[in-house]
Amino acid sequence: MKRSLLLFISLFVVMVVLAACQGGTNSDGEVTESDNEGNTEETTKVVEDAMGETEIPVNPKRIVSQYYLGHLLTLGITPVGTLQSELDSPFLQDKIEGIDSIGTGTVSIETVIALEPDLIIAADPESYEQLSKIAPTVYIEYGKNNAIEELAMLGEILGKEEEAAQWTAQFEEKAANAKEQLAGVVAEGETVTVFEIWANNLYVYGNKWGRGGYNLYNVLDFTPPDFVKENLIDNQPYAEISLETLPEIAGDHIFLSVYEADGGDQRAEEIKQTNIWKSLEAVQNNQVYEVNLDDFFNFDPISLDKQLDIQVDLMLSQNQ
């Protein structure tokens, strides 16, 4: 009897020791897993940008981003807030439920504070200075890089490198198909230009600021006129030009958008009636492709994908 009792006590002591090694006890005396057992995963990491190093959450739950809404959605991330211009994108309307506007044009600091972000993505130095006082903030300069580069940068910051690579691979496959469809539409040696008309201004765009330029020059590999190549491609996003310089800059194919506010639509019609406009080869050959500015304002991955469809359809329909 004593031997059995001693054996039982010994076994009980061993079990208690093992339980103590594996965990602790809660307030009710129940055995729990040790906080240190297997809990080696880092919850923060340090990223570096043009503003320096910043410690950010590894898995942020409440992201506020000035821009880059389409990029984040492509990566499977829904931010809690972004600028209204991002929310207005026609190609994102079925994906923005629950995302708050943080301002129109400029960021409302009060709104950002109320959203309680654990990570902020700023796009200009002034906003960064203010936003970085609220929560960990990373800086990606708006318009400095093209959309694919921005997607890769965000993928690295947010641990979504695989998602970024997958989307890019799919888009490259789509681009290859688009090139096949458009074979012969833009002849060898022909050039393509992107213009936009405002009430009091006329602009030409490169490949870094919406209006479909990235697709035309980087995806479809169309050739820009010399002025665009020397001044805008991978450089400045756009340049203001005069009506008189149009013949020097206009390509054999023109993509045209109009900012209709303040009389921009009327100005566009006036320009189309000038001898300068009518003398352009693209006009004479029915190779001016007019696009809706709302559709071509943004240059996130989702927008690029939809814009490519529009561009291909326009070029095919006018060159049958």
The pLDDT tens digits of the residues spanning 248-288 come to: 999 999 999 999 999 999 999 999 999 999 999 999 999 99
Label residue 85 by pLDDT band (50, 70, 90).
very high
Q: What is the pLDDT of residues 186-211, one digit of tens each?
A: 999 999 999 999 999 999 999 988 89
Answering whether pTM is above 0.75, one says yes
Write 223-227 long-range contacts (CB < 8 A, 24+).
223/189, 223/190, 223/191, 223/192, 223/251, 224/191, 224/192, 224/193, 224/251, 225/191, 225/193, 225/249, 225/250, 225/251
Q: Is the pLDDT of residue 4 over 80?
A: no
Comparison of pLDDT for 71 and 22, the residue scoring more: 71
d(CA 290, CA 255): 6
Rounded percentage of the chain residues whose pLDDT exceeds 70: 88
Residue 134's SS3 state is coil
Amino acid at 40: T
Does residue 57 contact residue 39 with C-beta atoms inside 8 Å?
no
φ, ψ of residue 236 in degrees (nearest 5): -70, 145
pLDDT at 105: 83
Mean pLDDT of the chain: 89
Tens digit of pLDDT for each residue in 200-240?
999 999 998 889 999 999 999 999 999 999 999 999 999 99
Question: How confident is the model at residue 138, as a pLDDT?
Answer: 97
pLDDT the model gives residue 6: 42
Confidence category of residue 137, pLDDT binned at 50, 70, 90: very high
Phi, psi of 241 (to 5 degrees): -130, 170
Banded model confidence at residue 40, pLDDT cuts 50, 70, 90: low
